[in-house]
Amino acid sequence: MDYVLYNLMFLVCIILAIYINSLLCRVNFYDHIDFSGRRYFHLDGIRGLAALFVVMNHAVFSFANNGFTPDEIDTYNFWIFAHAGDTGVQIFFSITGFLFFDKIIKTNNNIDWGGFFQARVKRLVPMYIMATTIVAILTLLWSHGQQSPLTTLRQLINIYGFRFLGSDIWVNGFRTYSLNAVIWTLPYEWRFYCILPVICTLIRYKRLFYFSFVLAFLYALNDLYTGQVVWVYFISGAAAAVVNNTAKLTLRRKTVAIDVISSFAVIICLIYLLNCDLSGYGFERFIIISILFIFIIWLKPGILTLRPLVYLGEASYSSYLLHLIVNALVIKSLSSLTDLNKASPLLFWCVIASLVGITTLLTAYTFKYIEYKFLKK
């Protein structure tokens, strides 16, 4: 019974997010998107689903993350939501790997690295600073320690360090995990950006590149065998970029049948990944995610090009950074009105759906009026 309920609520949250974005589509909220262009809209769609998966993952654990354990809710069996978080992060890393290796291939390894890093800063830093400033303000309001102001200031500075300055951050006795736990992935992104120039240099020396590739492959196998690892999904994206730029593998004509079958295949694979009992970051899941992602890049399933999903993908970074803040604010506000430890299943699921809805709508505005303002400069 719980299995059916959790899948049903998962579907309800997806439908809610899609419905909100369909309303935004009707008013052409993102008027900068040219749907007649040659953009990778299927990539926006899977990015939107990945962001939504992460949001739903943290939504169901928002009560526990903010100090409440409803007696009637058994979070131990929320495997579909836990796997949603894993799957979302893995898809994000695959997308990053694809986009930049695709650029390397298309430009024949001729990248303007100054422009590249400037674009990365404009893409990641402004929204991060805004989200982190909110985290810092809430942390000061909710902390009740007695430490010195100098120590508190040093800890606050750590929050702005993209987690390079510390992983488990406490400020004046308050752990920021409930507000910014997701930033653990950002150092991987920055390290990947920094190593790209090295990779491009190695590509010019084929023997050295092949040798380095074999070492990286063996290192990846070791990491996948011995523990949880995420950086290998950059390789999944790189493999997809090679497939995307191989003329012999390019579809000459995409039929309706191919579109329908590929769309259903993606849905079935995602359902399996969400409900299977495979290790969250193990070798088997890496193989499945890699095949799925290459399949998406190759066949460009039509379902992923739906405009509401493209809209979800457009606001994915805002959604990624802000959803935990939304969760904490809503949960703490509700706790002042009722005892959340005694929340009924109905109240619990209504709150979860509201968290998804609020995050979806709010981050559409933060993307348009904050992120995009910097991106178009």
101-111 confidence digits (pLDDT tens) = 999 999 998 99
Average pLDDT of span 216-230:
71
Judged by DSSP in three states, 293 sits in helix
Q: In this model, does residue 1 exceed pLDDT 60?
A: no
pLDDT band at 342 (very low <50, low <70, confident <90, very high): very high
CA-CA distance, 351 to 333, in Å (whole number)? 12
Does the pLDDT at position 254 exceed 80? no
3-state secondary structure of 170: strand
Q: Rounded CA gap, 186 and 100, in Å?
A: 16
Per mean pLDDT, which of 202-216, 272-286, 289-303 is the most reliable? 289-303
Tokens, residue 245: 């730029």
pLDDT at 332: 94
Confidence of residue 225 (pLDDT cuts 50, 70, 90): low
pLDDT greater than 80 at residue 14: yes
- Residue 351 reports pLDDT greater than 60: yes
Which pLDDT belongs to residue 216? 77
Task: Give the pLDDT score at 167.
Answer: 62
Q: Scan for tokens 């290192």, then name that residue.
A: 219
Q: Alpha helices, DSSP H only, in the chain?
A: 2-26, 41-60, 62-65, 79-106, 113-142, 149-159, 177-180, 186-203, 206-226, 233-244, 256-275, 283-299, 307-314, 316-335, 345-366, 372-375
Percentage, residues of the chain above pLDDT 90: 62
pLDDT at position 154, please? 81
Higher per-residue confidence, 211 vs 22: 22
- Band of pLDDT at residue 228, cut at 50, 70 and 90: low
Q: Measured in whole angstroms, how far is the alpha carbon of residue 172 from the centre of its chain?
A: 29
Question: Average pLDDT in the 57-83 region?
Answer: 88
Please report the pLDDT score of residue 313 as a whole number: 97
Locate 52 and state its tokens: 């939504």
pLDDT tier, 156 (very low <50, low <70, confident <90, very high otherwise): confident
Is 320 in contact with 88 (CB distance < 8 Å)? no
| pLDDT in the model for residue 215 | 78
pLDDT at 207: 78
Task: Please state the rounded mean pLDDT for residues 361-377.
Answer: 92
Q: Which residues contact 46 (CB under 8 A, 6 or more apart)?
A: 91, 95, 266, 293, 296, 304, 313
Amino acid present at 263? S
Among 38-42, 151-155, 173-177, top mean pLDDT goes to: 38-42
**Which tens digit of pLDDT belongs to each residue from 64-76?**
989 899 988 877 7
Q: Which uninterrupted H or E stretch holds 175?
A: strand 174-175
Q: Residue 226: which pLDDT band, with cuts at 50, 70 and 90?
A: low
Considering the chain, what percentage of its residues have pLDDT values greater than 70? 95
Q: Identify the pLDDT of residue 189.
A: 93
Residue owning tokens 């998966």: 53
Answer whether residue 354 shows pLDDT above 70.
yes
Q: What is the mean pLDDT of residues 87-91?
A: 96
Per-residue pLDDT at 219 exceeds 80? no
Higher pLDDT, 213 or 35: 35
Out of 155-159, 164-168, 325-329, which region has the weakest mean confidence (pLDDT)? 164-168
Report the mean per-residue pLDDT for the chain: 89
Contact 274, 78 (CB under 8 A): no
Q: Of the ranges 31-40, 197-206, 289-298, which is most confident?
A: 289-298
Distances (CA, A) of 265 to 54, 279, 293: 21, 22, 12
